[in-house]
Structure 1
Amino acid sequence: MVSISWGTIKSLLLFFGPILLPKAIGYYQRLRASSKAANQPIRPLPASAFRAISILSTISLVLLVLALPPFSPENLFRLTSSRLQIPTDVLFTRLASLRPGNALTQTDAALRLKFVNLESRLLYLQFGPEVLASCPFCVSDEPKTYLYYALPSLLAPHLLNLVILSLATSATIAGNEAARWRRSAAVAGAVAAGFDVWSVSTYNYGANARATRPGDVDMFFWTSRALRHAVLGLIDVGIAALVYVSSTNRLFAAPPDPAARVEAVTRQLLATKSRLSAIGIVKNTSLRDEELRARTSAYWTHEGRLMREVMEDRDVVEGVNDALTNRINIQDISRDAETYALNMLPQPRPPIPEATTVG
């Protein structure tokens, strides 16, 4: 990754902050509004989405652990606290004193043969010990040869993480809740890989030639390796967070498809029809039973009497007059109420006509 100073970061934040911050707030507000417009209630995390989040969280944790210094390749100059311009024999004498039995390893011997000039040491800081020690065709006069040899190991973490992202966001393993983020995960992984290759290929490794103290040397390979694993881990965490908020309808809630909506409306209509049928059964039962029918008649008779008493009240009369003044047809309202009350009463059965005989 490109080495950027804190002063440069502050300058970029001061310049782009006032422009990007309002846009970020507006984008978040639009996301909240679209989620509310979808009218989807917050639901528990589905099992398929939980599988995707578990996979991504585990890989993210592994990547963040690998970014720590104990898991990085050995740095000879930092291990021996040596300057970049130290003589080769002195450097490897110090290194041998740190090895078990004062014996150099095979990689140490290969690096000793490579450290014939300052150019090789600068390339060591750019591409790391493995590339410099094991490349069979690389020469310091052609720095691009080291880049060509380093590309497979450089892209390996990106490709492996991209495969894991594809598995974690596949509909077969993680369901449709995670599959909607499959394209975003692929784009994020491809952008990270492209930026990583660009930063390594355009790095100005010659700037370290002017460093006279060990603390002034830019350990580009080790810094970029840590950033690479950290960025990949953050991408996995970001995709896991997107899967969580979208699968629980907290954000990015999508409205149900037309078939699901038609099914829900049909289910509601069937439930309403069942309730109406139950009400009809209860009403028919109450009308067929003499005791229940008598209670119903008594209830509505009592209600009618109360209604007449209320209508004869002085306040009610004044209210009616006021309503008449405001052109409200109180007669129609009274007639509708009387019709409603009569419809609720059981209707008497018509008498059966007597049979007549022809004389």
Structure 2
Amino acid sequence: MAFSWGSIKSLLIFFGPILLPKAINYYNKVRNAPRIHGLQVVPLPPSVSRALVLLFFVSLTFLIQTLPPFAPENVFQTTQSRLQIPVDVLFTRLASLRPSGQLTASDAALRTRFVNMESRLLYLQLGPDPLAHCPFCGADEPASYLYYALPSLAVPHLFNLVVIALVTSDLFAGRAGAAWRTVATIAAVCLAVADVYAVVSYDYQANARALRLSDLDFFYWKARVWRAVGLAALDGLLGWLMYLTATNRAFVNPPVPAERVESAVRMLAATKGRLNAAGVIKNTVIRDEELRSRGTLYWSHEVRLMRDVMEDREVIEGVNDALQNRIDIQTITRDAEMYAESVLKPVS
């Protein structure tokens, strides 16, 4: 069922005021989640880096496949011929463009199938491979060509599913990849289903009314490009989400109690280690006569310097002014008494 731009615009006007505030709230929630849970941005883990490199090369491979040199040949575009051109004229033109001046085995197979309009229409829908190599297909059963084309149609999707399963495995990318495993798998399956549905539901008979080459809809070549772009976009989006999760920039989950306890234990152990090191240094200083005398001289100098500063007239006047005009002594005294009582209060 086709939707016009007017109907899409009406749906956006109706659902926009409802969905837009929810989308904004979700975005703010995702963006502020790390700060709310007290998590800091961390460097990208090496395991996630390897996963992102793999996703990058897979996406790049899909995009390279969209370039014209890697696309199967379209005999109608190569020879600049209409769909209704006689078979002999079409393949005579094609043979003249071959380096050897003769048709290849695939060209000869296509020539035997291009005897009717149905085969040419299926060629524009499914590409040259089913028409040239299918041993059980015939124009009287158009669905047989579709059955032959389905495995090759599913190959890039299956390959991408294997890549997604690898990069989202806990052993390969850790928790940052495993968090998106289900979502990425569902998205890949939905993309494959949408691709197959687009091919199956395509009205290939519409090209029969095209009288000029420019009027033809080369569906197979267009679908091939959009398929590769869609898979590359899916892998790129997955890599971006994994990056945000792995670095605690977004889509973070609050640490479980066991992780919090483990983190607190690590912090306490690190603090204890520093205190032990400080104790060792202090004992060393006390036991060494030279270091002890240098420490005594340092603190004697600091105390004398502080006393001289505090006895300065301007400092005394500034302290008195602050005590009289800026600091509420009674409030500070009351807070100090309450704090002392809370500290000295016996535990019941």
Fold-level match, TM-score > 0.5? Answer: yes
Tell me the TM-score range normalised by the shorter chain: 0.7 to 0.9
1:275/1:231 Cα in 2 relative to 1: closer, same or farther (>3 Å)? Answer: closer
Distance in 2, Cα, partners of 1:329 & 1:57: 64
1:53/1:273 Cα in 2 relative to 1: closer, same or farther (>3 Å)? Answer: closer
Partner of 2:8: 12
Distance in 1, Cα, partners of 2:322 & 2:241: 62
Unmatched tracts of structure 2, length 5 or more: 311-315, 341-348
1:1-359 equivalence runs, <5 A: 8=4, 12=8, 15-16=11-12, 19=16, 21-271=20-270
Contact 2:48-2:174 within 8 A present in 1 as well: yes
Deviation at 1:134, TM superposition (A): 1.1
Letter in 2 for 1:129: P
Distance in 1, Cα, partners of 2:244 & 2:52: 11
Contact 2:125-2:204 within 8 A present in 1 as well: yes
Deviates more, 1:248-257 or 1:216-225: 248-257
List per-residue Cα deviations over 1:81-109 (Å, max 9, x = no partner). 11111111111111111112320111111
Contact 2:33-2:251 within 8 A present in 1 as well: yes
Letter in 2 for 1:238: L
Deviation at 1:255, TM superposition (A): 2.6
1:167/1:10 Cα in 2 relative to 1: closer, same or farther (>3 Å)? Answer: farther
Q: What is the percent sequence identity of the aligned residues? A: 47
Deviation at 1:271, TM superposition (A): 4.9
List per-residue Cα deviations over 1:22-41 (Å, max 9, x = no partner). 54333322211323322211
1:275/1:102 Cα in 2 relative to 1: closer, same or farther (>3 Å)? Answer: closer
Deviates more, 1:31-40 or 1:229-238: 31-40
1:76/1:21 Cα in 2 relative to 1: closer, same or farther (>3 Å)? Answer: farther
Unmatched tracts of structure 1, length 5 or more: 337-359
Distance in 2, Cα, partners of 1:273 & 1:91: 86
Distance in 1, Cα, partners of 2:280 & 2:225: 74
Q: CA RMSD in A?
A: 3.9
Q: What TM-score comes out, normalization by structure 2 length? A: 0.78
- Secondary structure at the aligned position of 2:174 is classed as helix
Deviation at 1:138, TM superposition (A): 1.3
Deviation at 1:323, TM superposition (A): 6.3
Q: What TM-score comes out, normalization by structure 1 length? A: 0.76
Count of aligned pairs: 320
Distance in 1, Cα, partners of 2:216 & 2:255: 57
Deviation at 1:13, TM superposition (A): 5.8
- Secondary structure at the aligned position of 1:100 is classed as coil
Distance in 2, Cα, partners of 1:120 & 1:102: 25
